Amino acid sequence: MGINFKVCKKHVHVFILVLIFFLAFYIRALSIVPERILSYDPVYMYRFTKYFADWGVLPIWDELSYYVGRADIYPPFMFYLTALIYWIVKFFITEISLTTVCAWASAFYGALIVIPAYLLGKELSNRKGGIIASALVAFAPQILSRTFGSSYDTDQLVLFFILLTLYTGIRFLKNPNFYNFLINLFAFTGFMLTWPMFWYTYLIIVAIFVFSVVLGFVFKNLEKEKIKISAFYLFSTFVLLMIIGAIQKLQVAEWFFGLLQFATSPEVWIVNVSIAELQPVGFDIQTWIFAFGKFVTGLAFIDFALFFGLLFAIGFGIYSSLKKKDILAKSCFFMLFIFGLFTMTRGIRFTEFTSAIFLSLAGAGIGMLYSYVHRRTLRNFLNGIVLILIFIAFSTGIQLANYLGPDINSNWDNAWEFLKTQTPELALVGTWWDPGHMITGWAERRVIADGAHCGYACMYTINHRITDLGKIFCTNDENQAINLIRKYQGTSPKVYWIASADLIGKFQWLQYFGTGCDARYEWEKCPLYGLAYQTNAYYSEDGEAFLLEYGNIKVLNLNYPIAFYTKGRNAIIFKEIMFYENGNLSIIDLTQTNTTLLIEQLRPIFRNLGYRLSSQLLDISIWIAEDKKYVATIPPNLRNNMFTKMFFLEGNGLEKFKLVFRNPEVKIYEVIGLENKNNEKVL
C-alpha cells in the first residue's frame, strides 16, 4: 500500500503540531530530577495529590495548616488527574514515586498548552496562524519559566484552560448553537475545577460579546436574534457554573468577587505587598518584552527586532480584522489585546498569561499576513522569516531550560527531616510564612501560616498571621513573643520556631508588617540588616587568610577578626564583631575595650594597607558567617530583637527558646514553658 501524499499534505499541520508538542515536552523535561519537585506552591499541590493518591478522597479540611483550618481545598482537577496518571504508571513501574510522577506530569501539562494555542490561533486566522501561535507559546521563556518539569503547580493547566476557554468561547460567539454551548460549558467546568480565578476568561468572552454588540450598533450591523441567543447562553453558562461549583462544594461566587477585588486592589491581603512578582508594573520596555514571551538572545538588535516583529504581527491582525465586515473578529482582536494589556500591569507574575494571549494573537496576525501575500517570492521570504522566528524561539527556550529545575538544598532537607522524625506528630512549627508549604509537605507538621491565603472564614486571617509573625521576630520582649505564639498553639503538645538565613534579606517585610515602619520610605527610622558576599581574599605565606573583602567591608584577621568599612582611603571599625571560632560563636564588643589604645595600635597596620583609620567606632554590629562566605551588618534598632538573638546569636539571651537543631542556614528552637488555655502544662 503506497503513501497517499495528498492526504499527508492535507494533514501536514497535524504532524507539525505533534512535533511542536514533543519539542515542548522535551525542553520542559530537561529540568527533571528524580524524587524532587520545586519548593513553595508545588509542595502544597503535591501534598493534596498524595492525600488523594493514598486515600482516594480529599480531606474535608487542611488539617496541617492548623488554625487556618482551610475547608476550601484548592480546586481538585490536577490532584485527580495526576493521581490517575500515578496509578497507571505505578502498575507498570512499581518502584516509581509520586514525586517523580509529579515532576514528569508538570512537563506533560506544560507541553499540552500548544494544543489550545493552535486552536485559538487557527480560530482567529487560519491553520498557519495556529501552528505559529502554538510554536511561540511552546517555547516562550516567560511561559517556560513557570511550566517546566518539576514545577508541579497549576500554571500549566491554567494556561491550557485560558487558551482553551478563549477558543471555545469565541467559537461559540461565532456560531451560538447548543453544541458549541456545551463544548464551552465543558471547557469552563474543567477550568473551574483547576483554578479559583477561572472567571478571568469568562469576563473576557463577555467583554468580546458586549463590544461586538456595541460595534454592531455603531456600524448598523446588529444580528438581533444571534445576540439574544448568545446572551441567553452566556447567562446560562454563568448560572450552570455556579450550580456545578456548589455541587462540588467550591466557593465559585466568592472566587468571582475575589477576582474583581484582586484586579482593583490586590493589597487587601497585605501579604501581596511583599511578593515582588505581584507588584503592579508600568509599560516600560522590559515589561513589554516579558509580555511578549521574553525572547531575549543577548543581542539587542535581534531582541528588539523580535519584539517589534511580534508587535507588528498583532497590529496587522487588528488591521486585517478592521478591514473585514466580521464585527466579531474586530471585537476578538481588540478585547484580547486590551485584556492582555491590563493583565500585564497587574505584575510580572501575570505576564505569562499576557504572553499566551499576545503570542496567540501574533501567530494569528502572521497567519493573516499569509492571506495577503500571494507572490511566490514574497511568500518564500515570509516562510524564511517565520522559520527564523521559530528557531530563535526554540533556541531561547532550550537555553533557559538548561538553567531550570527543582531547588536542592541539603540544609533545608536536613531541617525537614529533623522536624519529621524528631518532633511530636502534632507539633506546631512557626516561622515567617514563606516556608509554610514545606513544613506541612516535607516535615508533615502543623504550621501557623503558609503561601495559601486564608480568608475571613478562618479564626485568624492571613493578615493577622503575618502581622503577628512579624511582631514575634521584631520584638525585643521574649514574653511578648511567647504570648503571640500561644495564641496559635491550640492542642499542639510542642511548638518549634525556625530562624533562617533567607529572612535576613526579607526582613524589610517582617519589620514593616510587625512594626509598621517601612524602610522603603523611613530608612533612617528603621534601617535593615545588610548583606555582603566575599569578593576577594588575601593570604599570608603560611596560607592563612589575613584579609577578607566583602565589597566595602573588610575583615582583618589578627588575634580576633577586626571588621571595618571603607570609603575611598578612609576606614572605620565596626563596634561589635560576631564570629565563629572552632564552631562556637564569639562576640567582641569593642566599646568595652580601651578604644583609643586599640585604634592607635591598629593605625600602622591600616597605613600599610593604604587606609586612614577613623578614631571613632561605627555604631553597627557585624556578623561573620561560619564559612566566611558572607557577612551581615546589624543596625542598633535590630540588635536585640528575637530574630537577631535566634539566628545571629544562636539563642544567647533567650530563656524560653532552646536551640535543638542548627546548620548554616536553618536554626530550630523548641519553645518551652507554654501553657494551654486552662493554665495546664501542654504535654
DSSP bridge pairs for 561? 557
Confidence at 681, pLDDT banded by 50, 70, 90: very low
Confidence at 7, pLDDT banded by 50, 70, 90: low
Please give the angle made by the CA atoms of 297, 301 and 305, to the nearest 5 degrees: 85
Confidence at 6, pLDDT banded by 50, 70, 90: low
d(Cα 574, Cα 128) in Å, to the nearest integer?
66
Position with higher pLDDT, 50 vs 253:
50
Inform me whether the pLDDT recorded for 675 exceeds 80: no
- Sheet arrangement for strand 446-447: 446-447, 428-430, 495-500, 666-671, 657-662
Confidence at 436, pLDDT banded by 50, 70, 90: very high
Q: Residue range 361-389: average pLDDT?
A: 89
- Residue 490 phi/psi, 5-degree rounding, is 60, -130
* Cα end-to-end span (Å), the chain: 79
Q: CB under 8 Å to 59, separation ≥6 — which residues?
A: 48, 51, 73
Inform me whether the pLDDT recorded for 93 exceeds 50: yes
pLDDT at site 682: 42
For 621, the grid coordinates are: 554590629
For 518, the grid coordinates are: 517601612
pLDDT in tens, 482-498: 999 999 998 899 999 99
CATH 3.40.1780.10 fits 409-527+638-683, yes or no: no
Inform me whether the pLDDT recorded for 2 exceeds 60: no
d(Cα 148, Cα 504) in Å, to the nearest integer?
29
Check if the beta carbon of residue 473 is closer than 8 Å to that of residue 642.
yes
For 139, the grid coordinates are: 517555547
pLDDT at site 255: 79
Check if the beta carbon of residue 210 is closer than 8 Å to that of residue 260.
no
Inform me whether the pLDDT recorded for 541 exceeds 50: yes
Beta carbons within 10 angstroms of residue 532's beta carbon:
16
Q: Residue range 288-299: average pLDDT?
A: 90
For 312, the grid coordinates are: 507588528
Q: CB under 8 Å to 376, separation ≥6 — which residues?
A: none
Inform me whether the pLDDT recorded for 683 exceeds 50: no
pLDDT in tens, 107-133: 999 999 999 999 999 999 999 999 999
pLDDT in tens, 641-659: 999 999 999 999 999 999 9
- Average pLDDT, rounded, for the chain: 90
pLDDT in tens, 19-31: 999 999 999 999 8
pLDDT in tens, 64-89: 887 666 666 788 999 999 999 999 99
CB burial class (10 A; 0-12, 13-18, 19+) of residue 133?
A: buried
Mode of pairing for the β-strands spanning 495-500 and 428-430: parallel
pLDDT at site 72: 65
Mode of pairing for the β-strands spanning 570-581 and 612-624: parallel
**Which range has highest mean pLDDT (8-12, 313-317, 377-381)?**
313-317
User: Could you tell me which of 25, 152, 134 has the C-alpha nearest to residue 78?
Assistant: 152
- Residue 113 phi/psi, 5-degree rounding, is -60, -25
pLDDT at site 281: 78
Q: What is the CA radius of gyration of the chain?
A: 29
Q: Give the position of cell 487587601.
A: 268
d(Cα 652, Cα 64) in Å, to the nearest integer?
31
**Location of each CATH 3.40.50.12610 domain in the chain:** 409-527+638-683
Q: CB under 8 Å to 179, separation ≥6 — which residues?
A: none
d(Cα 585, Cα 649) in Å, to the nearest integer?
7
Inform me whether the pLDDT recorded for 453 exceeds 90: no
CB burial class (10 A; 0-12, 13-18, 19+) of residue 495?
A: buried
Q: What is the DSSP letter of 585?
A: E
CA max distance for the chain: 100
Q: Residue range 285-308: average pLDDT?
A: 89
Q: Which is it for the CA torsion 637, 638, 641, 645, positive or negative?
A: negative
pLDDT at site 226: 87
pLDDT in tens, 162-190: 999 999 999 999 999 999 999 999 999 99
User: Could you tell me which of 591, 677, 572, 674 has the C-alpha nearest to residue 639?
Assistant: 591
